[in-house]
Structure 1
């Protein structure tokens, strides 16, 4: 019991420094991927009222999951190079997703999900930038580490997804 109580401050410190992250930070290049953005806190104690996801280049056919109590919107852009998706010629794709109109209190945690096809670029890291709007203020999780820099050193890192060679990634 004493040991558990001694660890309690560490748990609160970890929660206070939590970032928006992907539940599964590694996936096979070229695979279908279920992305789950984990939101662990609001902005300086204020509840989260909206999230805006900026989709990295090369991610195809992104489909966000609706969330009860939140309004879902997508923004599409024309592609310079159309691609084939199971026999369908795709010439525009999702570039941004927004969930808004809900309220996620600072004391609670939630997840925002999507599906997409990942680019065939083993060894690459994709960065999913997220803008978190709150009742008071906002946090832009958009920092991308420079070569050799640790993302943990950044104040507001974008959620990272490491692409592995097929069969090399972790599977459940």
Structure 2
């Protein structure tokens, strides 16, 4: 084979490698972007969605707004009621009113009585909160229910909120709690939960004014849409840079 033929064959092979590498690189980028979105925001397909809780803060002793998200019905049946059980470590609960939903609180006796952070004696506490509606939430639509609570003082405490989702037909009992060493992903119907973190000196433990909405706005300020978008952009840029760098290295090795 003449030198010109050999050089032409090499050029054609190199072009073929570059063309075949583009779809692979595109698939890698798409997979990385999907993984990034899931890790940041917990996006999931409707079939794999759960009832989840997102606290505005997990700092020990802080006042927090807990957002319980319901993203699907019971086997395509619309949701008519959500009952959230409150762990015994929480003695202060204030539900946020929401359109179309009625709210009922069930209380229980605290035995023995305890004392809150203000020195008040607590003999009764809210054991569960139920949101019910005459206008069912269709399957495939999302609703968020808010509770304002004071978190316990003990760092490392795991708080689980077993939740019963009642639908026009059937129900889903999100009540499974991972035991020590068990992966939450192994649970079929995991209860919404999170772990108390270190106390935050900047968190106002005892706000003197403001309601649940103002508390929620203050507590979630750092997680604004702009900040979240910037974080996503920065992480995506990092992933893209790593992938492009790897692709360049592969091309360089092929040429040499």
Q: TM class by shorter-chain length?
A: 0.7 to 0.9
Q: Which has the higher contact order (CA 8 A, sep 6+)?
A: 1
User: Alpha-carbon deviation of 1:87?
Assistant: 4.5
The answer to whether the aligner puts 1:91 opposite 2:89 as a matched pair is no
User: Alpha-carbon deviation of 1:88?
Assistant: 3.1
User: Alpha-carbon deviation of 1:64?
Assistant: 0.9
User: Alpha-carbon deviation of 1:95?
Assistant: 0.3
Give the secondary structure class of the aligned counterpart of 1:73: strand
- CA RMSD for the aligned pairs? 2.8
The answer to whether the aligner puts 1:15 opposite 2:46 as a matched pair is yes
Segments of 4+ in structure 1 off by > 6 A?
Answer: 10-13, 168-171
* 8 Å Cα contact 2:84-2:162 kept in structure 1: yes
* 8 Å Cα contact 2:83-2:131 kept in structure 1: yes
Q: TM-score, normalised by structure 2?
A: 0.60
Structure having the larger proportion of residues in helix: 2
Q: TM-score, normalised by structure 1?
A: 0.87
Matched length: 168
Corresponding residue of 1:162:
195
* 8 Å Cα contact 2:56-2:65 kept in structure 1: no
* 8 Å Cα contact 1:26-1:161 kept in structure 2: no
Give the secondary structure class of the aligned counterpart of 2:45: helix
Q: Return the alpha-carbon distance in structure 2 between the equivalents of residues 39 and 84 of structure 1.
A: 31
* 8 Å Cα contact 1:36-1:111 kept in structure 2: yes
Q: Return the alpha-carbon distance in structure 2 between the equivalents of residues 18 and 42 of structure 1.
A: 10
- The structure that has the greater radius of gyration is 2
Which residues of 2 match residues 68-87 of structure 1 at below 5 A? 68-80=99-111, 81-87=113-119
The answer to whether the aligner puts 1:51 opposite 2:82 as a matched pair is yes
Structure having the larger proportion of residues in strand: 1
* 8 Å Cα contact 2:107-2:127 kept in structure 1: yes
| Gap change, CA 1:144 and 1:104, over 3 Å in 2 | same
Gap runs ≥5 in structure 2: 1-22, 204-218, 223-256
